[in-house]
Amino acid sequence: MKKTVRKIVKVKKTAAKPATKELVRRRVKKLVRKKLVKKKVRKKKADSRGGQPLPDLETAIERFLRYLEVERNSSDLTTKSYREDLEGLVEYLHELYEKRLPQPSEITTLDLRGYVAALHDAEYQRTTIARRMASLRSFFKFGMREEWVTMNPATALRNPRVTRSLPFFLSTTELGTLLQTPPESDGMGLRDRAILEVMYSSGVRVSELVGLNIGDYDKEQGLVRVRGKGKKERMAPIGSFAAEALKTWFRHRRKLLALPYARFKKDGPNTALFLNKFAGRFDVRNIHRMIGKYIKIAGLDTRTSPHTLRHSFATHLLDSGADIRSIQELLGHANIVTTQIYTHVSTATLREVYEKSHPRAQ
């Protein structure tokens, strides 16, 4: 009986061996198949990137800028700023790596710290350095998404401490002087007066002003459609003085468009609101040059810039009792923290509030 049991067990053991071998063989086959699938996926990924899974630094920058334009819907000025910031890095690394550009994956935190130190040595403003560091973080974050790099070397960088200065603004008297400076005797003077009035009346940025088209201005409602940062649109009010200045400018504007050398051949909703002497779109550089000229004529503080009109717009609204949330909407700020810098009010206003409110002020 015992011999029979032993024989049965022996038979069972011998029968189990080939079954185990077959199982192992199947598992090996499965693993091999998985590896082949992974290789195919990797190959597909490489093919989808044009056969360049790890692009060189300049190509990577171009793809990042394209991503900003297409996916993030960034404005031309934002894209231009990112380009300038990253081109500075390219120049530095070109010298550091002895006239060759490293791959994005080769760039280390130590390299980036050296770049930041070079910016400090070149006496760049802290705000500029902080912006360039932010550009680096965004670029390498995109690189991680695209699998060019395994980690973001810019995350370890510490931003310089930026002291936030109060915005410079003009008093209502000074602004009145500036607005009256452009001559009314010629067409270009009428245009300049209209530009200054619109900037102060609506608080628009210079880049927003030059982007205005004739179709953006609603005369009936006294509003203008503004395309701000990130191509966000908002409606900005136009005061009566600005509306009158625009009405006067439009008479001369029609004469400009009738000239044989006019760049805009016909007037339409997409024709620029403000034209240069060749009946083309007035650009940012022209605005800076024009305002600089009138600042000298009016004898105003040399710190005055086109953005000063925006600062003055916000400050005067706040001094007159407007709430911070409304000012945020009018300025087109995404975050109210940006608007809160205007909560500085003039000393005279503070004194007046103090004397009216405090029981022992007088």
What local confidence, expressed as pLDDT, does residue 349 receive?
Answer: 62
d(CA 107, CA 112): 8
pTM listed for this prediction: 0.68
Mean pLDDT of 310-320: 88
Where does the pLDDT of residue 7 fall: very low under 50, low under 70, confident under 90, or very high at 90 and above? very low
pLDDT at 10 over 50: no
Q: Residue 21: its pLDDT value, please?
A: 61
Give 226's contacts (C-beta < 8 A, 6+ positions apart): 202, 204, 208, 212, 216, 233, 234, 235, 236, 332
Mean per-residue pLDDT for 151-156?
92
Nearest to 190 by CA among 250, 146, 259: 250
- Residues 11, 328: Cα–Cα separation, whole Å: 87
Strand blocks (E) in the chain: 217-218, 223-227, 233-237
Asked if pLDDT for residue 159 goes beyond 60, the answer is yes
* Percent over 90 (pLDDT), the chain: 41
pLDDT confidence of residue 44: 43
Query: Which of 231 and 316 is assigned the larger pLDDT?
Result: 316
Angle at 82 between CA 81 and CA 84, to 5 degrees: 65
Token pair for 148: 């060019």
How many CB atoms are located within 10 Å of the residue 319 CB? 17
Contact criterion met (CB below 8 Å) for 275 and 281: yes
Mean pLDDT over residues 331-345, rounded? 77
Residue type (1 letter), 36: L
Residue 60's alpha-carbon distances to 57, 101, 147, in angstroms, are: 5, 12, 11
Q: Which two tokens stand for residue 161?
A: 């401490």
The pLDDT mean for the chain works out to 82
Among 201, 334, 218, smallest CA distance to 273 is for: 218
| Neighbour-count burial for 102-131, b at 16+ CB within 10 Å, e otherwise | eebbebeeebbeebbeebeeeebeeeebbb
Catalytic center residues = 205, 229, 307, 310, 333, 342
Give the pLDDT confidence of 72-88 residue by residue, as tens digits: 888 788 899 999 999 99
Digit-coded pLDDT (tens) for 89-98 = 999 998 888 8
Alpha-carbon gap, residue 118 to 347, rounded angstroms: 41
DSSP 124-151: --HHHHHHHHHHHHHHHHHHHHTTS-SS
Sign of CA dihedral 325, 163, 166, 121: negative
Question: Which domains are seen in the chain, by residue range?
Answer: 57-145 (1.10.150), 172-354 (1.10.443.10)
**Span 293-312, pLDDT tens digits:** 999 999 998 888 999 999 99
At residue 41, the pLDDT reads 42
Predicted pLDDT at 351: 67
Cα(272)–Cα(286) distance, integer angstroms: 14
The top-scoring range by mean pLDDT among 3-7, 164-168, 257-261, 267-271 is: 257-261
Query: What mean pLDDT comes out for the span 23-42?
Result: 56
Between 1 and 220, the more confident residue is 220
Question: What is the three-class DSSP state of 353?
Answer: helix
Mean pLDDT, to the nearest integer, of 148-160?
Answer: 91
Q: What does the pLDDT average to over 346-361?
A: 68
Query: How confident is the model over 124-153, as a mean pLDDT?
Result: 92
The rounded distance, in Å, linking the Cα atoms of 45 and 228 is 37
CA dist 60 and 131 (Å) reads 20
Predicted local distance difference test score (pLDDT) of residue 35? 52
Q: In this predicted model, which residue has the larger pLDDT, 181 or 323? A: 181
State yes or no: pLDDT of 255 exceeds 80: yes
